[in-house]
Amino acid sequence: MIDTYLVEKIIVILINLIGFWLMFLVYSANKKEKLNQWFVAMTFFVILWINFAFLGYSTNDVQSALIFYRLNWGSVALFLVCSFYFYFIYFLKFKNKYKILEYSVLFFGIFLFVLSLFTDFIIKNVIIESWGAEIIFGYGNILFNTYSIFIGVVIIVFLIKKYFKSHEKIQKIRTKYFLFGTFLFILSNIIFNVFLPLISNSVIYQHFGDYSAIFLLGFTAYAIVKHELMGIKTLVTQILIIIISVILFVDAFFLSSDFVMQILKFGVLIAFVYFSRGMVESVRKEKKARKKLEDSYDKIDQSIKYAKDTNVKLKEKNEDLKVLLTISDIIARTLDPKKIGQDIVDSVPKNLHYLKYIASFMVLYDARTKRTYAYFITESIITKKIRKLVGKTLGKRSGEISVCLGSDDLIAKTIEKEKIQISNKLEDFIAPSVNVNVCRIIQKLAKAKSYVSVPLFSSGRVIGAIIFVSIKSKKEITQRDKKILSGFSSHIGSAIENAELYKKTSIQMKEVKRLNMSLENANQKLKELLEVKNEFLHITSHQLRTPLTAIRGMISMWYDGDFDDLPKKEKRRMVKRILTSTERLNNITNDMLDSLELEGGFLRFQFKASSISNIIRETINTLKPNFEEKKIYIKMKVDPKIPDVEVESNYIRQVFMNIIDNACKYTKEGGVDVSIKKIKNNCVEIKVVDSGIGISEDDYEKVFEKFSRGENAIKENASGSGLGLFIAREIINAHGGKIDFQSDGIGQGTTVRVLLKIKHK
């Protein structure tokens, strides 16, 4: 007959082997993974728990039994802490979500560990009975059991929640096996370690609860192997081989007394271990095949999900397209701008009900007069009440609202910033034009929860806004909503403005008659232009005659041989004078042609986003030899956040070539500083500051006029055409920018400032 003590000893050995084997495999699978680390710690304290319990139960010495049982209870306390962190914190992924609970479990676990080992609060004493060592518990055992039950309940409850909330098949199966093993383990311990000791006032059955750890380790091992939890494969087969090998080993050396039988059984053990290699390999192959099958299922699921998502998107696009077609149909029915506006706002409840929009109102804005000129609202029973409320509040017959750019209301911001604005309060859009209390009454009547204001565009500019009223909250407004509402409004602005233009045609015809009557005034102006033309020709002939006379005189002397006897250096000097006069003539001619084209409006600018810093840097590099020749410096400072500017780069380069070249010409000492930075009003500011001859106050008005130059400038450099800054001003004006200058007087230097808009309109 087999001894009970021997059987228990074998069970403890098996649990130890399985436990240490699991610890080794899990830790070696992924040493850095926290889940693996806590599993190892949890299994380690389970093994300590079972071993100390077995040693305490089986010893006959009171003092030894007391030490083993206290170590047993201390191991249980630390096991509970590790179990909580393994399941709750890392497997269920609740780290930092329940910090108070997390710290409380850790504190009480360590506290109970200390009480178990170093006090008699939990284990008061031990007495030796016939069946083994009996524990006499202290009052702290109630606290210990309460803590244990609490940890068990928390883990079970949250594992159940995880099981029912998890949508992934593998994750659900893993949770199920953990849940089942944990439940059996906890239930067994509650029965044998808590309730039976309380009922019988004895721990005779306690070791059965301790051995229930085999359920926890067994189901954990199965979950690890079958579903690859923590990255371990084929573990079940290996564990079974180990268990069978241990059983064969025990049977051969402990349960058999015949030496021959022991030899035979040992041979069977060796043969079993040898042939079990094939079993392991077979399981590995099966696992690979199953993995491929699961991957195939995953791909099928992904394809089905993709097809469903595509169908949903197609349905949404069909709904959105239907709305846009309806708007196009409304616009095509009439050319009356008021009817178009009213029909559009009336169509919102019918066409946008699927997105939960129940009404809308529209405000049209005239940027020229800076006033609203039309107002439409969806007609309904509620609208009539609203019109009365709004009309009384504003003292107006129509109950229209006004828009003032720069104010805080969201309609004004929609128009000014050209962006969609969203709020859950009506007062944010129409107050203070409408009293705040009235706004709240209107919102209550309409049962509205949010409002979306979308700008109306026509010819690239905002002409108003349409505000959509929704019964869903601000948080529920999606990108799809914004996209369809923007598409809805994109058709409206141009249609209404075109209808307005059509309506104004008759008025414009009357205007044509008035213009015909003013032709006489135009003829008079033509006469004045002819006088200007004559003046231009007179000045032009004077400007051109000077370099031409110089060129003709020197070439005539050259032709007559007057240069033949001159030294080579003198000849080169005379040739250079001819070249200089030719360049001056060329520059004057180009300046005149440019000025004529600018005044006549013949130049066509093609604005493109360009780097103004690169343009000016290229200009400086071109003119750098001139600065080096005069031995003066030129420095450039650029704000790193300078955006691109919409300009005609060739003409802007000509502007700064002229400005920087002038700064070089009229500076003898010091140098020129060029700075570029972004300023308010969406502009870039370029300053060119020189330390040159400066400009007298008397010459201020002449600087930007044609053929005009300051007396100081003429003395310094007589070769200028007087057209450079005039051309620069015309080019900058054509860009919608500004050019001006500042000088403290003669010899005080000059600052030329140019402002360019970042986005040209």
Is 80 exceeded by the pLDDT of residue 385?
Answer: no
Instruction: For residue 602, give both structure tokens.
Output: 């013949």
279 neighbors 241 (Cβ within 8 angstroms) = yes
pLDDT averaged over the chain? 76
For the CA atoms of the chain, what is the radius of gyration?
47
392 neighbors 445 (Cβ within 8 angstroms) = no
Q: Assign 686 a pLDDT band (cuts: 50, 70, 90).
A: very high
Residue 669's alpha-carbon distances to 469, 573, 632, 633, 692, in angstroms, are: 68, 26, 6, 9, 7
Q: Say which range, 36-40, 525-529, 688-692, has the weakest mean pLDDT.
A: 525-529
Provide the pLDDT for residue 284.
63
Question: For residue 579, with 0-12 CB atoms within 10 Å meaning exposed, 13-18 middle and 19 or more buried, which class applies?
Answer: exposed
Provide the pLDDT for residue 40.
86
Peptide bond into 547 cis (omega under 30): no
Provide the pLDDT for residue 672.
93
* 625 alpha carbon, distance to own chain's centre: 48
d(CA 376, CA 360): 8
Instruction: For residue 229, give both structure tokens.
Output: 């939890």
- Of 225, 241, 212, nearest to 286 by C-alpha is 225
Provide the pLDDT for residue 541.
59
Is 50 exceeded by the pLDDT of residue 398?
Answer: no
Interval 687-692 mean pLDDT? 91
Q: Say which range, 274-283, 559-568, 613-622, has the weakest mean pLDDT.
A: 274-283
Q: By percentage, how much of the chain surpasses pLDDT 90?
A: 7
pTM of the model: 0.37
Provide the pLDDT for residue 395.
41
d(CA 210, CA 45): 12
pLDDT tens for 112-121 read 999 999 999 9
Half-sphere exposure of 505 (CA within 13 A, CB side): 7
Q: Which residue has the higher pLDDT, 596 or 629?
A: 629
If you ran DSSP here, which 8-state letter would residue 698 be given? Answer: G
Provide the pLDDT for residue 261.
58
The DSSP bridge pattern shows strands 671-679 and 633-638 to be: parallel
Q: Say which range, 273-282, 309-318, 479-488, 575-584, has the weakest mean pLDDT.
A: 273-282
Provide the pLDDT for residue 661.
85
Q: Assign 688 a pLDDT band (cuts: 50, 70, 90).
A: very high
316 neighbors 354 (Cβ within 8 angstroms) = no
**461-470 β-sheet, strand order:** 371-377, 357-366, 461-470, 450-458, 421-423
pLDDT tens for 50-87 read 888 888 878 888 888 889 989 989 998 999 999 888 88
pLDDT tens for 565-592 read 778 777 777 777 777 667 666 666 666 6
Is 90 exceeded by the pLDDT of residue 673?
Answer: yes
Interval 705-712 mean pLDDT? 58
Half-sphere exposure of 215 (CA within 13 A, CB side): 17
d(CA 349, CA 361): 12
- Of 659, 655, 637, 638, nearest to 737 by C-alpha is 655
Provide the pLDDT for residue 601.
59
Is 90 exceeded by the pLDDT of residue 170?
Answer: no
pLDDT tens for 445-477 read 888 889 998 888 877 788 888 888 888 888 888
399 neighbors 407 (Cβ within 8 angstroms) = no
Is 60 exceeded by the pLDDT of residue 532?
Answer: no
d(CA 104, CA 123): 23
Q: By percentage, how much of the chain surpasses pLDDT 70?
A: 68
Is 60 exceeded by the pLDDT of residue 234?
Answer: no
d(CA 678, CA 751): 18
- Of 730, 694, 737, 691, nearest to 712 by C-alpha is 694
464 neighbors 401 (Cβ within 8 angstroms) = no
Q: Residue type for 56, please?
A: G
d(CA 563, CA 575): 10
User: Phi first, then psi: what are they for 242, rounded to 5°?
Assistant: -65, -45
- Among 188-197, 427-436, 533-542, 645-654, name the most confident range: 645-654
Provide the pLDDT for residue 718.
45
Provide the pLDDT for residue 11.
78
Instruction: For residue 377, give both structure tokens.
Output: 């609202």
d(CA 741, CA 696): 12
SS (H, E, C) 620-636: HHHHHHHHHHHCCEEEE
Q: Which helix (H) or strand (E) holds 701?
A: none
691 neighbors 671 (Cβ within 8 angstroms) = yes
What domains can be seen in the chain, in order of their start residue? 4-232 (1.20.1070.10), 334-503 (3.30.450.40), 522-600 (1.10.287.130), 608-757 (3.30.565.10)
Provide the pLDDT for residue 112.
92
